[in-house]
Amino acid sequence: MSTTDKTTGAAAGDPAGTTVDEAAAGAQLSTAPLDDSPGDPVGIGLLGWARWTWRQLTSMRVALILLFLLSLGAIPGSLVPQNSVDLLKVADWKRNHPTLTPVYEKLQLFDVYSSVWFSAIYILLFVSLIGCIVPRSWQFVGQLRGRPPGAPKRLERLPAFTHWRTGTDPDEVLAAAGQLLKKRGYRVHATGNAVAAEKGYLREAGNLLFHVALIVMLVAFAWGRLFFSEGGKLVLQGGGFSNTLTQYDDFKSGSLFTADDLPPFSFTLDEFDATYERSGPQKGTARDFKAYVTYSEGAYGAPKKTEIQVNKPLEIEGSKIYLLGHGYAPVISVTDARGKVVFKDAVPMLPQDANLTSTGAVKVNDGYRDKNGKKEQLGFSGVFVPTFAGAGRGTMFSQYPGLDFPALALTGYHGSLGVDAGLPQNVYVLDTSKMTQFKDKDGKPFAVRMLPGESMTLPNGAGTVKFEGIGRWATFSVTHQPGSGLALTGAIAAVLGLAGSLFIQRRRIWVRAVTDRGTTVVLMAGLGRSESAKLPEELGDLALTLNSEAAPTAPEPAEAETEADPAVDTAAEGERA
């Protein structure tokens, strides 16, 4: 039952060349490379080897292997912490696995997606892809210009076949068949006693589009990596930000990025709003964050108001401003021994848990004088809780992230803050190595818990500290990622191409009409790619239409041993069997 039986198919007795064998009938139904084993190197010398390597690389088999390697190669990046995702986790992991660390570092397992080996896989894959796409596109253009191949000699051997007898003239049947097929969107080509038709070229076009779209996406990603920039900034309620390098708390960028690429804009954080679950088992879980901002585009743009939410970044001139986090900033004022206010500011504190128990430091650098008039620096480390459990109820841990019962505990130090050493300092932590803690009358560390509006008086008339009120802050990330529009275009094209490639069937239909024993025998056959579920249905539908519109069934003529088309013969034989 092999369809590659060459002896029957060869069009030897068909000088017009209008019939082909079954293998030829299916030829070029796709542009997929036929020969999957490129064989041995042909010719000698470098050129032969180069050609052989190229053919290997662009074969489907190698594409398959590379794809498989790509999927395997991506896996370690999910199991080993990645530098690009979470530096802290990487450091943690390294501390816990001192013996494995050097091995992993050699294998670039902390940077899988920029490692040499991962890059090698996908670069090879894309070279293969380009090497595959270009010839396939040419071939496809050729097919679009060409005509569907003629009818195979033995139509009954094709995957879907039907035939019947009719009284209509063969020429009329063929003309009607041609018209019908044309109406159904087939490309039709009449040859001799048969009509050849083909449909579903969009499958190939879709497949090519999909693969080209993959290349477009890769280029877009590469472009984005080279020119991206990303910076973080903490903004106090009422505070502002303008988009220059010096304003960022931290900043990363691609290798081709320059500071001139930062578009000029600025914004101020007018207000920050957060709502939390009030009751139930998930009490305290955040429900909604909103940052109300006023921004202006360009250096002197008119101010506009908007809000930024977690899922709704603000887009200004190709940069996107994301709301990342938020916290509280107790407003604290410090009065020195002389009664002069030497510090008054909102001090951002860093959340330590889900209920926003926050810690931070107040640093009074300049202007303070103690009761002897001596210049000194003051520092306070503090814990702020938005909802205090109540006096005598455990420690300073917040019970709820909202401001239900805010309280601030401070303990103070005097001496040198160490900021003059020129080293960058963590603004949230106090370096107490050159400071002395204030002590109370009993010699115990002096610490006071305050409610908003309350003050504490430092021992020995060193001054007072007042908890004036509570501000908020929010952190924003400003990212500029060129190429994302191109990537999105590529992605959409990929999905469309894929849908065309997988849902459209490329198929061929042949109709032959021959005279046999006084009536006309109509033979129809269809051929598609291997998985053609719909083909028999479609052929049946076409046959039925042709049968009812142009070639009604006629009765079988009486048995007679006349010379007939072999196809008709076998079909008739089958009938009698």
Partner 1 sequence: MTQLAVAANENLAHISNVLVYSSMAVYTLAFFAHIAEWVFGSRSKVGRTAAALTGAGSRTAGAAAAPAVTVRTKGGTAVLDKPKVVTRAAAGSRDLPDGPGAAGGTEKGDLYGRIAVSLTTLGFLIAAAGVVSRALSVERAPWGNMYEFSITFSTVAVGAYLVLLALKKNVRWIGLVLVTTVLLDLGIATTWLYTDSDQLVPALHSYWLYIHVSTAIICGAVFYIGAVGTLLYLFRDSYEAKLERGEQPGRFATSVLERLPAAGSLDKFSYRINAAVFPLWTFTIIAGAIWAGDAWGRYWGWDPKEVWSFVTWVAYACYLHARATAGWKGRKAAYLALFAFACWIWNYYGVNILLSGKHSYAGV
- In the chain, the amino acid numbered 36 is D
* Three-state SS annotation for 351-370: ECCCCCCEEEEEEECCCCEC
Q: Which two tokens stand for residue 348?
A: 């951002």
Stretch binding ligand HEM (CB under 6 A), from 19-27, 60-68, 151-159, 420-428: 60-68
214 belongs to the binding site for ligand HEM (CB under 6 A): yes
SS3 281: coil
Which residues in 71-90 contact partner 1 (CB under 8 A)?
71-72, 74-75, 77-79, 82, 84-85
Q: Which is nearer to partner 1, 408 or 572 (CB)?
A: 572
SS3 267: strand
Q: State how far Cα 19 lies from the chain centre.
A: 50
Alpha helix (H) ranges present in 149-281? 170-183, 201-227
Q: Are strands 19-20 and 151-152 parallel, antiparallel or unpaired?
A: parallel
Residue in 72, 451, 502, 544 binding ligand HEM, rule: CB under 6 A: 502
Q: Which is nearer to partner 1, 329 or 522 (CB)?
A: 522
* Site track for partner 1 across 274-293, x = CB under 8 A: ---xxxxxx--xxxxx----
505 belongs to the binding site for ligand HEM (CB under 6 A): no
Under DSSP, the state recorded for 81 is: -
- Cα–Cα distance for residue pair 441/459, rounded to 1 Å: 8
Q: Which is nearer to ligand HEM, 319 or 501 (CB)?
A: 501
Q: Report in angstroms how near the CB of residue 63 gets to ligand HEM at its nearest.
A: 4
- In the chain, the amino acid numbered 370 is D
Q: Which is nearer to partner 1, 287 or 340 (CB)?
A: 287
Stretch binding ligand HEM (CB under 6 A), from 15-23, 128-136, 268-276, 566-574: 128-136
Which residues in 25-44 contact ligand HEM (CB under 6 A)?
30, 32
Residue in 226, 324, 342, 419 binding partner 1, rule: CB under 8 A: 324
- Cα–Cα distance for residue pair 313/356, rounded to 1 Å: 24
Q: Which is nearer to partner 1, 272 or 388 (CB)?
A: 272
- Cα–Cα distance for residue pair 193/431, rounded to 1 Å: 97
533 belongs to the binding site for partner 1 (CB under 8 A): yes
Which value, in Å, is the radius of gyration of the alpha carbons in the chain? Answer: 40
Q: Report in angstroms how near the CB of residue 256 gets to ligand HEM at its nearest.
A: 25
423 belongs to the binding site for partner 1 (CB under 8 A): no
487 belongs to the binding site for partner 1 (CB under 8 A): yes
Phi, psi values for residue 182, rounded to 5°: -60, -45
Q: Which of 219, 234, 16, 248 is nearest to 122 (CA)?
A: 219
- Cα–Cα distance for residue pair 289/309, rounded to 1 Å: 6
DSSP calls for 93-131: HHHH-TTHHHHHHHTTTTSGGGSHHHHHHHHHHHHHHHH
63 belongs to the binding site for partner 1 (CB under 8 A): yes
Residue in 158, 293, 417, 511 binding partner 1, rule: CB under 8 A: 158
Say if residues 402 and 276 touch (Cβ distance below 8 Å): yes
| Residue 128 interacts with, from ligand HEM, partner 1, none (CB under 5-8 Å by kind) | ligand HEM
Q: Report in angstroms how near the CB of residue 128 gets to ligand HEM at its nearest.
A: 4
Number of residues written out for the chain: 577
Q: Report in angstroms how near the CB of residue 470 gets to ligand HEM at its nearest.
A: 53
Stretch binding ligand HEM (CB under 6 A), from 7-15, 99-107, 124-132, 191-199: 124-132
Q: Binding residues for ligand HEM, per CB under 6 A?
A: 30, 32, 58, 60, 63, 67, 125, 128-129, 132, 207, 211, 214, 501-502
